[in-house]
Chain A
């Protein structure tokens, strides 16, 4: 069931829902003297669900994601993941980068295993895990290839496999498909839906594409720009268990997309 803008959740802090794995309280981020990227964000992100942060550019969605990841310190407020206060990156969170962030001098196998390498996991175990997730993302046969030999879509699969390998509870994805062409993006989105049935993780997804957000998410957090604030929350509640191609023709999908667009269009006009 979807909610329209008027019935969106109020912005006051909610009593902690029992299944919230990420609790964001009062997060603000200001750059320099006067660039306010985020203002007073209060948000709970439910465990095991895929939540999207959606908004036009300048709304601070990537900033918020990186704060949750521990890569950027907030100017004010706190974030808790699985009850623990966030003060930097942690093993329970894994990040997937928009520009893939692959080491060009390393093979796919090494890149996928890099998170484990940094933790001191032994080589055989590391490679075994890497092989497993390489298969999971559909890159079997490419283990010895270098990033420059792969297409953009394949490189992002490597990034995804790397994030999955470290077995984090929360996966943070920063516009992972924006640097990938349309056909590959659709394939990716389908694969992500399929992946969620086997991987019982929480996904936090940043995107600027309304269709992508509605296609993939259990919950969409809408952010408005300058300064970044939550302007609403939408739950498309689409049944994704069937054929992925049917999702885009589901009436609830179409209605949700339209509703969100009407709410966001004022930011580009």
Chain B
């Protein structure tokens, strides 16, 4: 993010030096990587201090957590848990993507579908559907099917709504242009609508993945714990707080890394600099 007019610094006259005369320090400080690293170090430091000054007896230090994480990776405890957790997550997301994008596009193009389906998904997205997750077990038991459904319950609405929005908000001028050059309805959908809608649809997928992570964590904490949820509750019951925190931190880290990777893919392949960013 370049220095902007309107920040405190600019407003109070501390403008940067003229280009070409940036000091080495200034140029160094401008690189976002530096700030990210500093940020992480700062976070780790605060955590470490908070752990030593006992905020609570149940608050391990950053270093203790890091050690616990390393141990659990080496012993295979963590990887094995992930293997179990990732199954319903990936399955649920794949199903949500296929169903969600299809349904969203359909609703965008077909009024009756829009009328019936979209309000339901709006309610599902805004409302705390977590309340339904225990209910899922009555129908699907406590196995992978239930957890996959929990993932879908959270991921599907956001994917559908984004795909729908993307198709509804296609650039009208481009559609006019296509019609003026005698494009058929099918050509308009394939050559204009879908390419124009892809960035928003992809952004929806990204949000869907984030929601999927929430779904699988909830499923494992609310339905019978397996995988990561099991590790969390197990270590909590044994007061191994460092291990518990390490597990939690790992799933948050995994979620974050996955989302960043998706964002990178979005920028690289869909080139949103050419169009307004999706929300």
Direct contact of A and B (CB under 8 A): yes
Q: Identify the A interface with B (CB < 8 A).
A: 69-71, 89-91, 93-95, 97, 99, 101, 103-105, 114-115, 117-119, 146-148, 162, 166
In the complex with contacts A97-B173, A118-B187, A104-B274 CB distance below 8 A: yes
Selected from A105, A115, A148, the residue in CB contact (under 8 A) with B181 is A115
Selected from B174, B181, B187, B275, the residue in CB contact (under 8 A) with A89 is B181
Interface centre among A89, A90, A118, A148 (most CB of B within 10 A): A118
Give the Cβ gap from A23 to chain B, nearest Cβ, in Å. Answer: 20
Chain B residues in 8 Å Cβ range of A115: 181-182
In the complex with contacts A90-B182, A115-B181, A147-B274, A101-B195 CB distance below 8 A: no
B178 at the A/B interface (Cβ < 8 Å)? yes
Selected from A71, A105, A119, the residue in CB contact (under 8 A) with B274 is A105
Chain A residue at smallest Cβ distance from B180: A95
Give the Cβ gap from B39 to chain A, nearest Cβ, in Å. Answer: 32
In the bound assembly, the distance between CA atoms of A70 and B191 in angstroms comes to: 21
Chain B residue at smallest Cβ distance from A114: B181
Structural contact, B271 and A94, CB atoms closer than 8 A:
no
Provide the main secondary structure of the chain A interface.
loop
B134 at the A/B interface (Cβ < 8 Å)? no
Chain B residue at smallest Cβ distance from A166: B181
B179 at the A/B interface (Cβ < 8 Å)? yes
Structural contact, A118 and B181, CB atoms closer than 8 A:
yes
Give the Cβ gap from A91 to chain B, nearest Cβ, in Å. Answer: 6
Chain A residues in 8 Å Cβ range of B191: 103, 117-118
Chain A residues in 8 Å Cβ range of B179: 71, 89
Structural contact, B275 and A104, CB atoms closer than 8 A:
yes
Chain B residue at smallest Cβ distance from A168: B181
B183-201 interface (Cβ within 8 A of A): 183-184, 187, 191-192, 195-196
Structural contact, A105 and B187, CB atoms closer than 8 A:
no
In the bound assembly, the distance between CA atoms of A121 and B21 in angstroms comes to: 56
Structural contact, B180 and A103, CB atoms closer than 8 A:
no
**New A-B contacts (19) at CB < 8 Å, excluding given A94-B181, A105-B271:** A70-B180, A89-B179, A89-B180, A95-B180, A99-B173, A101-B174, A103-B191, A103-B195, A103-B196, A104-B275, A105-B196, A115-B181, A117-B191, A118-B178, A118-B184, A119-B182, A146-B271, A147-B274, A162-B181
Chain B residues in 8 Å Cβ range of A93: 180
Chain B residue at smallest Cβ distance from A120: B187
Selected from B174, B184, B187, the residue in CB contact (under 8 A) with A103 is B174
Question: Nearest 7 A-B pairs (CB), nearest first?
Answer: A101-B177, A104-B274, A115-B181, A95-B180, A118-B183, A148-B274, A101-B173
Chain B residues in 8 Å Cβ range of A71: 176, 179-180
B8 at the A/B interface (Cβ < 8 Å)? no
Give the Cβ gap from B49 to chain A, nearest Cβ, in Å. Answer: 47
In the complex with contacts A90-B182, A118-B183, A146-B274 CB distance below 8 A: yes
In the bound assembly, the distance between CA atoms of A148 and B272 in angstroms comes to: 11
B273 at the A/B interface (Cβ < 8 Å)? yes
In the bound assembly, the distance between CA atoms of A104 and B192 in angstroms comes to: 10
Chain A residues in 8 Å Cβ range of B176: 71, 97, 101
Give the Cβ gap from B220 to chain A, nearest Cβ, in Å. Answer: 40
Chain A residues in 8 Å Cβ range of B177: 95, 97, 101
B142-180 interface (Cβ within 8 A of A): 171, 173-174, 176-180
Structural contact, A103 and B192, CB atoms closer than 8 A:
yes
Give the Cβ gap from A39 to chain B, nearest Cβ, in Å. Answer: 24
Give the Cβ gap from A146 to chain B, nearest Cβ, in Å. Answer: 6
Chain A residues in 8 Å Cβ range of B273: 148
Chain B residues in 8 Å Cβ range of A119: 181-182
Structural contact, B182 and A89, CB atoms closer than 8 A:
yes
User: Can you list 23 A-B pairs with a CB-CB distance of less than 8 A?
Assistant: A69-B180, A70-B180, A89-B179, A89-B180, A89-B181, A91-B182, A93-B180, A95-B181, A97-B176, A101-B173, A101-B176, A103-B192, A105-B195, A105-B196, A105-B274, A115-B181, A115-B182, A118-B181, A118-B182, A118-B183, A118-B187, A118-B191, A146-B271
Chain A residues in 8 Å Cβ range of B171: 101
Chain B residues in 8 Å Cβ range of A117: 191
In the bound assembly, the distance between CA atoms of A80 and B177 in angstroms comes to: 21
Chain B residues in 8 Å Cβ range of A69: 180
Chain A residues in 8 Å Cβ range of B178: 118
Chain B residue at smallest Cβ distance from A95: B180
Give the Cβ gap from A145 to chain B, nearest Cβ, in Å. Answer: 12
Give the Cβ gap from B179 to chain A, nearest Cβ, in Å. Answer: 6
